[in-house]
Amino acid sequence: MERAVIDAVRNGDLVAVRRHLSTLPRAAQWEDAGRAVAAEVVRRGGPGFAQLLYEHGEVVPSGPWGEVDPVVWAAETGASELLRHLLDRYPAPEATLRGALDAARAWLGVDPEAELRRRWGASDDEAVMVTRDQVTVGEYSPRALRIRLIPADGRWVEVLAAHRAVVTVVEERLGLPVSRDELLARALWSADPESCDWQTSRHAVTTRFPPEETFRWAAGRLDDPEVAVRLFTAELLHHCTIDGESPETPYAADALEALWRRTAAETDTATLCHVLDAYAGFREIGAVLDEFLPFVRDPRPEVRTRVAADLLNGVGGPADDPPPHVLDAMLGLARDPDPTVRRVATAHLVHSAVDTPALRELFADLIGGNDRETQVYGATGLALRGDARALAELRRMGDEDGDESFAWGQWDSVERMLGRRQVGSGPAA
């Protein structure tokens, strides 16, 4: 193997390692050459580097990686996302999965830093620098706490503290039973909604149990005194509605009652936002959620953002022709002091069927503002409502910002939509 690749792995240079892999023939990336690089990652890069290098699993080489089985190694070092990618591409035999499960379970019930010290052989009084950071492969991917020990001689060893996520993944592959309460306990270990443990537990509760039973279980915990429990269950109920079929479930009325009752009592901002989102998810698409109007003036911008997204609950039906007081509330949110609230409200109005003089005035004002994103939204809103000058302005901003910009993308999208409208309204053959 090239010395440059070994040095790149040792130095944590992801770009250089990926560049080397990209020069290899496609088949070689998954086989001998790819395994050679992976073996260096095990020896010199550590689980954090491995999880980042093989972030989406496209070119994860099959095992073994040097002297280790990558499935067991990923389980033992807490690299849950890497483990998931490996198992998605290379289903492992039961013996390997049980070995991985045992390796991960050995880390449960112990302090990960103390266990890492013990395995490294570092005594309690030995001078060892400890660093902690978060490893995540992308903005929308879960993160894992990385703990690294660096003794005086500069050598280091690390672990990702996501062994609960590993256990959850492997249990599902083996078909082993687990309770919702146990999955909740694993999520609460870090109490971090962005963590691998939390998100893997939430996914398992969503997919491994009957939906109505899961709703009853979650609803019974919406009033729990511990904020993290309420947050997990509210987030779970929100995610259960993403498929858009929730209003048709036989327990939708019970869900709406439980969630609405919680809106009056919830004090935690993040939990309240998920409760509102879940409530909207159990309402029919195209509804106007007058119930959310009291939250329009909530002092927390996060809550107003949720209202801006859900007050007109999708498109179609009453949401396409909301009452004047509801439209006034949406227009007010589109002029909110908080930029995120403004953008969410404006984006929703842009693609709605609503077309009034007040809305067109809002879009015109946005074009004349100094925020590029809302300028683009303003031009998009007017262009979709047949304003040729706004379409030309949108094209101008796209040309100015470049063909990979938000403005150019919106112009291209609007052109396509207008073209489809013309085709649909053309004369009959």
pTM greater than 0.75 (yes/no): yes
Cα(21)–Cα(28) distance, rounded to whole angstroms? 9
DSSP 88-151: HHSPPPHHHHHHHHHHHHTTTTS-HHHHHHHHHT--TTS-EEEEEEEEESSTTS-EEEEEEEEE
Rounded CA Rg of the chain = 26
Rounded Cα distance, 49 and 39, in Å? 12
Residue 283 in tokens:
């309402």
CA 392 from chain centre, in angstroms, equals 35
Task: In the chain, count H helices and then E strands.
Answer: 23, 5
pLDDT in 10s for each residue of the chain, 429 residues = 577 788 888 888 899 898 888 888 888 888 888 999 999 999 999 999 999 999 888 789 988 999 999 999 999 999 999 999 999 999 999 999 999 999 999 999 999 999 999 998 877 667 889 999 999 988 889 999 999 999 888 889 999 999 999 999 999 999 999 999 999 999 999 999 999 999 999 999 999 999 999 999 999 999 999 999 999 999 999 999 988 889 999 999 999 999 999 999 999 999 999 999 999 999 999 999 999 999 999 999 999 999 999 999 988 899 999 999 999 999 999 999 999 999 999 999 999 999 999 999 999 999 998 889 999 999 999 999 999 999 999 999 999 999 899 999 999 999 999 988 776 655 543
Residue type, 36: A
In single-letter form, the type of residue at position 257 comes to E
